[in-house]
Amino acid sequence: MDASQAGNRGRWVPVLGLLSAIFVLGGCLTSPGSVGPVRQAQSADHADRADWVRWKAQRLESAAGTNGWASLVGLHWLPEGASTSGTRPGLDHGFPAGRAPAVVGVWHRHEARVRFEPAPGVAVLKNGQPFAGGSLVTDAHGAKPDVISVGHLRITVIDRGSRLGLRVKDSLAPTRTGFRGLRYFAWSPEARVPARLEAAPPGATLTLDTVIGGRESLPLVGTLVFDWAGKPQRLVAALDSETDDLFVLFRDATHGRETYAAGRFLHAPKPDAAGWTTLDFNRAYNPPCAFTPYATCPLTPPANRLGVAIRAGERRTSAGAEAHETTH
């Protein structure tokens, strides 16, 4: 008991009586519109935070799991015609030493089609099954690409418009085994904000520059209008056909210091019938380019470069990957 409590000891009985009366009266006057919503809001916040914790675990797996972005060890663009690959110096596509046979095989590209011919005596799997050679499915138009496994490497063919490339991953890559984890701002319910969609005309597209010098087009959904720090903000949003939700690339006043210089990604549910959705900036996350120089990320469009600081979601990665940042 502190000094103030000791000094009021003689008044405990009448004070308690008064408090009891107030408590009873308050119980009579309490309506579903007062305490109920507060408790419901607290319960919703608790559920949202718990779901955010689960989301962070999934994020860590996508960044540093055995098949995560940190396992990328190469990106090799295929020329038209035949090209060789392996760990032996002098081949068209050089793979990390000691991680695959000296000569892996020959890749044959004809426009948007790719065929692979393993070198004699080299054990190759396609999607986990023995593979003697043949055509391969690329990731064009959102397709699930075939996975070629040889040695310690996993190889898929990516389609980036007029460019086809070999994306090479190694689960024991130093960038993965030395991964230092993801960093976040503290979770906040205030980082979840309602946003109203100003719909784009049917058939509109959002064209984005990429880190590899190309351009990528996505279906434009429209512009999301919301308030942050008491000021109206606007973000153009595209449709992500793989996740069937809204996809936003944005950059804010923290970029380059507290957050990744090129910006961050964010997904949001499709709007309801009235045109409203929720932007949960607690789930803003770094693009693959934050973890590897071999990714092909789109860049933040000029319209989505915000002047306010959004201190929510993922922060800059640990030193090392930041050498690949770009501020385009």
Per-residue 3-state assignment (H helix, E strand, C coil) for the chain: CCHHHHHCHHHHHHHHHHHHHHHHHHHHHCCCCCHHHHHHHHHHHHHHHHHHHHHHHHHHHHHHCCCCHHHEEEEEECCCEEEEEECCCCCCEECCCCCCCCCCEEEEEECCEEEEEECCCCCCEECCEECCCEEECCCHHHCCCCCEEECCEEEEEEEECCEEEEEEEECCCHHHHCCCCCCECCCCHHHEEEEEEEECCCCCEEEEEECCCCEEEEEEEEEEEEEECCEEEEEEEEEECCCCEEEEEEECCCECCCECCCCEEEEECCCCCCCEEEEEHHHCECCHHHCCCCCCCECCCHHHECCCCCCCCECCCCCCHHHHCCCC
CA quadruple 34, 39, 41, 44: dihedral, nearest 10: -160
Instruction: State yes or no: pLDDT of 22 exceeds 60.
Output: no
Query: Could you tell me if residue 256 is left (phi over 0), alpha (psi between -120 and 50 degrees) or otherwise beta?
Result: left
Mean pLDDT of 209-222: 95
Comparing CA positions, the residue from 114, 87, 96 lying closest to residue 294 is 96
Mean confidence (pLDDT) of the chain:
87
pLDDT of residue 20: 36
Comparing CA positions, the residue from 268, 261, 263 lying closest to residue 303 is 263
CA quadruple 67, 71, 74, 79: dihedral, nearest 10: 10
Residue-wise pLDDT tens digits, 26-84: 343 334 444 455 566 667 788 999 999 999 999 999 999 999 999 999 999 999 999 99
pLDDT of residue 44: 73
Instruction: State yes or no: pLDDT of 179 exceeds 80.
Output: yes
pLDDT of residue 161: 87
Q: In the beta sheet, which residues pair with residue 154? A: 149, 169
Residue 317: pLDDT band by 50, 70, 90 thresholds? confident
pLDDT of residue 34: 45
Mean pLDDT of 170-176: 96
- Domain ranges for the chain: 71-177, 180-324
pLDDT of residue 1: 38
Say how far apart CA 247 and CA 238 lie, in whole Å.
Answer: 5
User: Which token pair is 95?
Assistant: 């793979």
Instruction: State yes or no: pLDDT of 184 exceeds 70.
Output: yes
Mean pLDDT of 114-128: 98
pLDDT of residue 40: 60
User: Bigger pLDDT: 11 or 137?
Assistant: 137
Maximum alpha-carbon separation in the chain: 97
pLDDT of residue 45: 83
Q: Can you give the pTM of this predicted structure?
A: 0.82
User: Bigger pLDDT: 110 or 37?
Assistant: 110
Instruction: State yes or no: pLDDT of 323 exceeds 90.
Output: no
pLDDT of residue 41: 60
> How far out from the chain centre does Cα 128 lie?
27
User: Which token pair is 37?
Assistant: 């919503």
User: Bigger pLDDT: 29 or 90?
Assistant: 90
pLDDT of residue 281: 98
Mean pLDDT of 227-245: 95
Residue 318: pLDDT band by 50, 70, 90 thresholds? low
- Going by their DSSP bridges, the two strands 93-94 and 81-86 should be labelled as parallel
Weakest mean pLDDT among 47-61, 149-163, 314-328: 314-328
Instruction: State yes or no: pLDDT of 17 exceeds 80.
Output: no
Say how far apart CA 229 and CA 162 lie, in whole Å.
Answer: 43
User: Bigger pLDDT: 266 or 27?
Assistant: 266
CA 230 → CA 194, 226, 227, 254, 308, distances in Å? 13, 10, 6, 18, 10
Mean pLDDT of 191-199: 98
What is the CATH architecture assignment of 71-177? Sandwich (2.60)
Angle at 159 between CA 220 and CA 179, to 5 degrees: 90
